[in-house]
């Protein structure tokens, strides 16, 4: 089935509500994220009905992933939210052209990158967040244009419509809060908790031949919805990993030990409301990701249920390091 061209009514949110949604999405993903300005005066001294100025700042305390890049402590990331009523613009292509025009200085116009708020914060990274669909050509043009206007900023990125739709799809509470006419109260809703554990020989009296303790990466899936949920198997759990600057999904089909099949939930087992299933992955198996490239950074765990809903959780620093050193 083809992906619908329109899922969430971002156009209808308006600039302030759009910025609030983006703030909630980013705030749930990144520690230390916070708004600088929510709504305000643009660089030309006026307020545009479609494109308003909304800024946020993020200063990570530890290494974290932002799209396909790793942001390290000591960096300052500025997010600028730009809402566009695409239907009024006439097309996504025209909306992209109008966005690009905001990032080029010209006579009687100071572009966004030279606004006082941004210059005062001296960011190392700048991220445009927009409800406009950001194709590869737009991203390349945006980065090229921005580097010419303000080369002091190390890196530029775009969070566009595709990313926002994925993130909203993973945040059941926010999806219901911001799009109540499309989605009713959440029926299917899972929460993910990541932890570490271990298993010792003859665990639980299981007659499986292995002679050493096995350290485990554990994915606990809680059903906080109102109806039963179903997860196919441990292969329905994937790991998003940045490999040499590219974000890739990694699925571990062979966990390397017969006991894993016995301790993990059976494929298709019912996950009742108020209950949890815990899936275990040996760290020694996860360590295979180290061979995928020169620079490898595990980002998050993604769980997909049998009807296609996805849920994710960021991989904590201690578990990430263990994955790379096992």
CB atoms within 10 A of CB 221: 24
Question: Rounded to an integer, what distance in angstroms lies between the CA atom of residue 57 and that of residue 80?
Answer: 9
CB 34 within 8 A of CB 77: no
What is the distance between the terminal CA atoms of the chain, rounded to a whole angstrom?
A: 40
219: CB partners within 8 A, 6+ apart: 192, 193, 194, 237, 278, 279, 280, 281, 301, 303
Question: Rounded to an integer, what distance in angstroms lies between the CA atom of residue 186 and that of residue 247?
Answer: 29
Q: What is the pLDDT of residue 228?
A: 94
Q: What is the pLDDT of residue 6?
A: 46
Each of the 326 residues of the chain gets a pLDDT tens digit; together they read 334 444 568 888 888 889 999 999 999 888 888 776 654 444 443 334 333 467 899 999 889 999 989 999 999 999 999 998 876 656 888 999 999 999 999 888 889 999 888 888 899 999 999 999 999 999 999 999 999 999 999 999 999 999 998 898 888 788 888 887 555 566 888 999 999 998 876 655 555 555 677 899 999 999 998 899 999 887 899 999 999 989 999 998 877 667 787 888 988 899 999 999 999 999 989 999 999 999 999 999 999 998 888 899 999 999 999 999 87
3-state secondary structure of 35: strand
């Amino acid at each position: 089935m083809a992906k619908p061209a329109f899922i969430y009514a971002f156009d209808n949110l308006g600039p302030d509500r759009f910025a609030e949604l983006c703030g909630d999405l980013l705030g749930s993903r990144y520690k230390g994220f916070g708004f600088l300005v929510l709504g305000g005066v643009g660089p030309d001294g006026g307020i545009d009905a479609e494109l308003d100025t909304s800024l946020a700042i993020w200063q990570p305390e530890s290494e974290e992933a932002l799209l396909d890049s790793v942001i390290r402590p000591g960096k300052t990331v500025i997010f600028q939210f730009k809402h566009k009523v695409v239907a009024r613009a006439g097309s996504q292509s025209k909306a992209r052209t109008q966005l690009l025009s905001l990032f080029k200085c010209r006579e009687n116009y100071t572009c966004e990158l030279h606004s006082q708020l941004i210059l005062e914060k001296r960011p190392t990274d700048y991220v445009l967040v927009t409800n406009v669909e950001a194709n590869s050509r737009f991203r390349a043009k945006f980065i090229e244009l921005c580097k010419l206007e303000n080369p002091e900023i190390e890196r530029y990125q775009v969070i566009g419509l595709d990313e926002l739709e994925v993130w909203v799809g993973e945040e059941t509470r926010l999806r219901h809060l911001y799009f109540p006419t499309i989605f009713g109260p959440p029926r299917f809703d899972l929460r993910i908790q990541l932890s570490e554990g271990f298993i010792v020989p003859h665990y639980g009296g299981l007659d499986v031949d292995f002679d050493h303790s096995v350290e485990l990466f554990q994915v606990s899936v809680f059903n906080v919805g109102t109806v039963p949920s179903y997860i196919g198997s441990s292969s329905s759990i994937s790991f998003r990993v940045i490999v040499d600057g590219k974000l890739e999904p990694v699925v571990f089909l062979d966990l390397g030990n017969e006991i894993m099949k016995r301790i993990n939930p059976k494929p298709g087992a019912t996950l009742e409301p108020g209950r949890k299933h815990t899936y275990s992955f040996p760290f020694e198996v996860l360590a295979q990701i180290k061979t995928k490239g020169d620079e490898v950074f595990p980002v998050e765990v993604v769980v997909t249920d049998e009807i296609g809903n996805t849920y994710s959780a960021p991989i904590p620093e201690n578990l990430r390091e263990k994955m790379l050193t096992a």
